[in-house]
Homo-oligomer: A and B are copies of this chain.
Amino acid sequence: DNGRPVISSGDGRFSMAFRVRFQADFAGFMQDSPASLPAGATKDLASGAVIRRGFFGVEGKAFNDFWYEFRYNGGGTDAEGFGMSIARVNYNGIPNFRLSAGVIEPVFMLEGTTSSGQLMFLERPEIDNIAADVFGAGDSRRGVELTYQKAGVFKSDDNLVLSVAFTGNTTGTGTDHATGTDEKTQLLGRASYRFWNDGVSNASIGASGATIISQGGNSTTGFVNLQDRPEIRVSPTRLISTGGLNARHASMYAFDAAANIENFYLGGEYTNFQVDRLANGAQAGDSPSFSGFYVEGSWVLTGEPKTYTVSSQNNEVGGFGAPKVANPFSLSGESWGAWELVARYSDTNLNWNKNLAATATSQSGINGGDERIVDLGLNWYLNNNVKLQVHDLIVNVKRQSGVAGTQIGQDLNIVGIRLQFTN
């Protein structure tokens, strides 16, 4: 009931579904006037609109046991992500196992198991984006993945997902095979367990972990950069960033929990990143670490519950998706779609020993900044195809210009609107 046409062969061994998704985003940035912001702070962020995603894709079954998905992103030029988003082949011939290869989007972290078409907010939380960028998840990702999924493992209402992926770079990064630069590789995985459900409500816990196997290349400068935009992507400017850290290895772990009780939802996740900096001349190597978390909640005013996805052919496994609209918007029918109130608080701290000065034998601390965002939003699902989101993001950035430096952070407010069509 969502306008997604499927062509199937008579014997059911083959199918092709046609998928469309586009998201038109607007952001209005409300900052203090440039004159009143401290020197070094980011001033006058650009308000405007972008096409965040513009997907066209086909997917389906081939010879029963195989599944293919091909998805091209024609939007995103404004911001990022233009090009081949998914080009995967899955083999499903062994019960409960799925083997994927090609351009995949790995199963990774809590909101990484929610489709970009079903997000409660305009963007995934910063720690999820940082982890995906640096540790080899997200879409457009070359790699192979093995996933195990089974419902009713220990008791009748549970669901277990174990997934591990070996990935390279994102595709479309044309310069990454110059002489001397082998492909960057990562190992990452996620385990999640739904320990309770009654058919409508669900409760689950999960853990994700990742490590960089090889950075590729011979360079020792500026490899690992933890950074993100303020949970909306109209402006390309990132308010927090560690800058490139001279490291050839890094690792991370995350824990999450989420549950819906009928039309209420509550979830959260905590992440810790550790980067192993190389020695810099006489200055020894060290291991800066960073952390972040978020808590998010949702209340579907019109009563529909969020949906828990038991299994799938993609990354949406063991996660929570959008509510299914009970009464599609229609003036003549006097039905109004589904309405949802959502809130999220996230804190991403990219500082490490922020006032530690370098010595002859040790490196200095890191002032990537600490960003806290309160996101309050109203989501209107007109039907299962059309969604309108109006959000307000209250952003607080605390960041020093450097070790023992001046404050270059700021408070700002962002109004974000998204119109989405997806089938």
Contact = CB atoms under 8 A, between A and B. Distances in A.
Nearest to A83: B77
Interface string A52-73: 0010101011111110101010
Contact of A58 (B45, B56, B181): B56
Nearest to A142: B49
Contact of A74 (B72, B180, B183): B72
Interface in A186-213: none
Contacts of A50: 142, 171, 177
A77 B174 contact: yes
A178 B54 CA distance: 21
A89 B9 CA distance: 28
A252 interface: no
A295 interface: no
B178 A75 contact: no
A387 to B, nearest CB: 10
Interface string A8-22: 010000111010101
Interface stretch (A232-240, A282-290, A314-322): A232-240
Nearest to A11: B1
A236 B421 contact: no
A102 interface: yes
A78 to B, nearest CB: 6
A119 interface: no
Contacts of A40: none
Interface string A369-406: 00000000000001101100000000000000000000
Given A44-B180, A87-B75, A24 B103 contact: yes
A247 to B, nearest CB: 20
A51 interface: yes
A75 to B, nearest CB: 5
Interface stretch (A110-118, A156-164, A328-336, A350-358): A328-336
A46 B3 contact: no
Nearest to A87: B22
A38 interface: no
Contacts of A329: 63, 65
Nearest to A77: B172
Contact of A183 (B43, B49, B65, B172): B49
Contact of A24 (B18, B44, B102, B218): B102
A331 B51 CA distance: 44
A177 B236 contact: yes
B77 A46 contact: no
A142 B51 contact: yes
A20 B383 contact: no
Given A22-B84, A43-B180, A46-B178, 17 more contacts: A3-B14, A3-B61, A5-B9, A48-B216, A50-B171, A62-B383, A62-B385, A62-B386, A63-B382, A65-B331, A74-B84, A75-B84, A75-B171, A77-B83, A82-B83, A177-B234, A179-B237
13 contacts: A3-B63, A22-B70, A46-B181, A46-B183, A56-B56, A56-B58, A62-B386, A63-B385, A75-B171, A78-B171, A78-B176, A79-B177, A177-B236
The 6 closest A-B pairs by CB, nearest first: A48-B183, A3-B14, A5-B7, A22-B87, A46-B177, A72-B74
